[in-house]
């Protein structure tokens, strides 16, 4: 088995590295990856970002949002979380057999004193009836990866804040996350591990997996990125994981209802979004206008559903002509946070 410790704390780069190694590199033995990232939310392949994430809160607190290739639910990570990924040849493994990859992790946790850690259901790891790890899989070209999270010392308050959608009337066909009780592993570890850092925790798991006592013993099995690798990974970050067209454009079709009471009256907008773009929009209310609001909705059809794109679409438009005593900034805020 080979291993790689991701040097980056950016989830977008780490997911890009994982994808690149899966698609472009061939290993004669399984490869295990470990990565730690700054505050972020990773939504599943088939999820609607807006149905999972409080986007306003995420933006205010500089929480990165991206989408992964694998299915499953949304997860929040920060520097107190350790992510792992096993990259293997798919023909030798069973897709959906999470136990094959999570059992070695469970064994290592037992060794560290978390004796109650167990595999539960399809793809979760629990302790004391609470979830500390979610896992997902992805396969392509006879290769696959099984990756998961390990909540060692995550800010649990942030989990509930950023993964709680603000009060919006949103109807979506996307996969919804199950809001399960979650916990950190650290309180369940043996006394000598109560002050362990995420990096030291990673190293303990790595030594267990390789049945080694010191990292120096397995240094020859570590994969180091080449300059060629780095350039290809940069491109994946730019084209996919750091690209709003991937993060939001892959959302399932959804309809959202937004309304706000302004000085100039009540405005209600019903917006349908498909592939990240406004496919239909109707506006109602008791507002006063000098011009037909259909003119403004026509400008928004086909526009990407984000504030900057809407701002550009309305750049030459006087919103006050359509909604008396409502500013352009207020109108855009009404449509999308």
Q: Is the pLDDT of residue 202 over 80?
A: yes
Q: For the residues 307-317, what does the mean pLDDT come to?
A: 93
- Furthest CA-CA distance within the chain: 77
Average pLDDT over the chain, rounded to whole? Answer: 89
Name the token pair of 317.
């438009």
Q: Which of 228, 247, 266 is the last residue of a domain?
A: 247
* 31 closest CA partner among 187, 146, 200, 166: 146
Cα 320 to Cα 170, 247, 330, distances in angstroms: 27, 33, 11
277 lies in which domain range? Answer: 254-335
pLDDT score of 169: 41
pLDDT score of 256: 87
CA distance 282 to 26: 52
Q: For the residues 154-175, what does the mean pLDDT come to?
A: 71
3-class DSSP assignment, residue 258: strand
CB atoms within 10 A of CB 305: 26
Q: Which of 217, 247, 277 is the last residue of a domain?
A: 247
For residue 42, give every residue at least 6 positions away whose Cβ sits within 8 Å of its Cβ, in sequence order, or none: 11, 15, 66, 67, 68, 74, 75, 77
Name the token pair of 269.
């907008």
Q: 187 with 153: CB under 8 angstroms?
A: no
Q: Which of 215, 247, 279 is the last residue of a domain?
A: 247
Q: What's the number of domains the chain is made of? A: 2
pLDDT digits (tens, 9 = 90+) for 59-85: 999 999 999 998 888 899 999 999 999
- Strand extents, DSSP E, 165-306: 169-172, 254-262, 265-274, 277-285
Same domain, 179 and 103: yes
User: Any idea which of 156-165, 211-220, 229-238 has the lowest mean pLDDT?
Assistant: 156-165
Structure confidence at residue 319 as a pLDDT band (50, 70, 90): very high
Q: Is the pLDDT of residue 42 over 80?
A: yes
CATH number where 279 lies: 3.30.390.50
Q: Is the pLDDT of residue 225 over 70?
A: yes
Q: In percent, how much of the chain has pLDDT > 70?
A: 93
CATH number where 183 lies: 3.30.930.10
Q: In sequence order, which ranges of the chain are alpha helices (DSSP H)?
A: 11-24, 49-52, 55-60, 99-111, 156-162, 198-210, 227-236, 244-247, 294-300, 307-313, 328-335
Structure confidence at residue 194 as a pLDDT band (50, 70, 90): very high
């Amino acid at each position: 088995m080979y291993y790689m410790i991701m040097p980056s704390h950016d989830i977008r780069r780490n997911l890009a590295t994982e994808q690149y190694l899966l698609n472009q590199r061939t290993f004669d033995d399984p490869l295990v990856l470990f990565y730690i990232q700054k505050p972020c939310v990773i939504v599943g392949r088939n999820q609607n970002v807006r149905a999972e994430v409080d986007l306003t809160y995420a933006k205010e607190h500089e929480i990165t949002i991206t989408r992964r290739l694998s299915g499953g639910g949304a997860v929040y990570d920060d520097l107190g979380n350790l992510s792992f990924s096993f990259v293997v040849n798919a023909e030798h493994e069973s897709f959906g057999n999470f136990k094959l990859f999570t059992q070695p992790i469970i064994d290592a946790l037992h060794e560290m004193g978390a004796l109650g850690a167990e595999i539960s259901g399809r793809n979760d790891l629990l302790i004391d009836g609470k979830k500390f790890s979610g896992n997902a899989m992805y396969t392509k070209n006879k290769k696959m990866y099984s990756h998961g999270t390990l909540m060692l010392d995550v800010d649990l308050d942030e989990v509930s804040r950023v993964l709680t959608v603000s009060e919006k009337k949103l109807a979506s066909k996307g996969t919804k996350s199950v809001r399960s009780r979650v916990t950190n592993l650290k309180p369940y570890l043996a006394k000598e591990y109560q002050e362990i850092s995420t990096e030291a925790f990673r190293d303990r798991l790595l030594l267990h997996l390789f049945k080694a006592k010191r990292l120096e013993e397995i240094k020859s099995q570590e994969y180091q990125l080449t300059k060629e690798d780095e350039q290809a990974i940069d491109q994946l970050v730019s084209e996919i994981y750091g690209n709003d067209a991937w993060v939001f454009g892959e959302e399932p079709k959804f309809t959202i209802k937004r309304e706000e009471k302004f000085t100039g009256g009540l405005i209600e907008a019903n917006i349908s979004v498909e592939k990240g773009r406004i496919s239909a929009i109707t506006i109602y209310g008791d507002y006063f206008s000098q011009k037909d609001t259909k003119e403004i909705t026509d400008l928004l059809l086909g526009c990407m559903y984000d504030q900057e794109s809407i701002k550009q679409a309305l750049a030459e438009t006087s919103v006050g002509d359509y909604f008396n005593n409502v500013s352009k900034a207020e109108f855009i805020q009404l449509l999308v946070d």
